[in-house]
Structures are given as C-alpha cells and as structure tokens.
Chain A
Amino acid sequence: NAGVTQTPKFQVLKTGQSMTLQCAQDMNHEYMSWYRQDPGMGLRLIHYSVGAGITDQGEVPNGYNVSRSTTEDFPLRLLSAAPSQTSVYFCASSYFFTPDSGNTIYFGEGSWLTVV
C-alpha cells in the first residue's frame, strides 16, 4: 500500500513550457485534490475531483487543467508555465466526506516546481 504517489519530485521548467504532474493513489479513495503551497500562504486548492469523470475548480485554478479518467489517477497539467506557478504542489486523496464522517486527507510527498 503506497498511499499517494506524486511524480516528479523536482522539476525546472522554462516559461511557456507545459508539463504534467502525476498523482496516483491505491486506497480506492473517491476524492482527490491538488494544492499548491507557497511561503506564508498555506495550502490553496487548485482543482478537485469527487470521482472518475468529475472534476471541479478550487481556489486558484487558472493555468491548470485536470482530468480523472480512473479512480486511481489525477494528473495536473500546467498549460503554459509562468514564474508565478513556481511552488510546491501536493496531491491528496480521501474517502468521500459527509458532514458527520469528517474523513482525513492523505497527502503525497510533494512536487517542487520552479519556472524560470
């Protein structure tokens, strides 16, 4: 049981390049999400998915695309990288919440992205 696996761990991109951050989980979680973490800003939600074929925008979705073709995978695509997207990206997953259940979220180890 690997949990949430993110790749790559580190990446340097040039402005305008595109790339995909991969995320996979083996816990059969319905809910998956992508956050970015910047100094002094905490974690901000980029996109999330409540199941295969269903995605929605979070707090800071501009410049990013996602898809959820399977329960296990939730890749994050940067369409045309900008220096403002330099950040640490975290993928996370959980069982589906209800107001009474309050499930916990499992995080990947992070992907450090630098856009020059």
Chain B
Amino acid sequence: SQQGEEDPQALSIQEGENATMNCSYKTSINNLQWYRQNSGRGLVHLILIRSNEREKHSGRLRVTLDTSKKSSSLLITASRAADTASYFCATDQRGSTLGRLYFGRGTQLTVWP
C-alpha cells in the first residue's frame, strides 16, 4: 500500500493531557499533511509540513517530520474534549500525480472531560 499508516489506531486520554499520534510512510514525499475529521463530517486540514522542514507549530499543534525514518508525529498539547475526532496523515508523494494525496487509516482520539 502507498498509504501512510497512523499509530495508534485509537487513543483515549483525559482533558489537559497531551496526545501524540504517529504516521509512517513508504516513499519519498514533497510534503505531509494532517487532517481532522469529526464524527459524521468531512476532513479539515490542520497543518502541512514540507519535506525540508523538521518541525512546525500551529497553536496547540506540533508536527515533526523525520524523512530518514519516513515518519511524522502530531502532538496536541493540553487536549480538550472538543479535540475528540479522527486524525489522518496524508502524503504528497514525490513522482506521483500532482495533487494526489495518499491518506492513512487514521487515529481515533477520544478526550474525556
């Protein structure tokens, strides 16, 4: 499969704790993106990190990228109940059709009040 693979498949934490999700992929990439999906809704873009970047921040989100290990992590700090959702990584693979993203199967995050 050319998809990214998220780990863990499911994560359950208390409000205030940090949540870390990982993504591994198999081929060289131009960039990697993280998306969020609330239950019954479409996916919403969170953050994009380019292949020449190692770390990126956006509010309570921190994304790292290790191209040598072909992996990325998404850290959500001080989680809130409203962060409960599925999180997907998507890769823009080098040499692939421009605009085509390959999505992983997602991590289901549950944040308990």
Binding site for B on A (CB under 8 A): 4, 31, 33, 35, 40-45, 48, 50, 56, 58, 90, 92, 94, 96-100, 102-110
Contacts and interface: CB of A to CB of B under 8 A. Distances in A.
Contacts of A56: 97
Interface stretch (B44-52, B66-74, B76-84): B44-52
Q: What range describes how many residues of B lie at the interface?
A: 20 to 34
B105 A31 contact: no
Contacts, number: 68
B43 A90 contact: yes
A112 B113 CA distance: 30
B101 interface: yes
Contacts of A108: 42
B98 A109 contact: no
Interface in B51-74: none
The 4 A-B residue pairs whose C-beta atoms are closest, nearest first, are A107-B42, A102-B31, A104-B45, A42-B105
Nearest to B6: A42
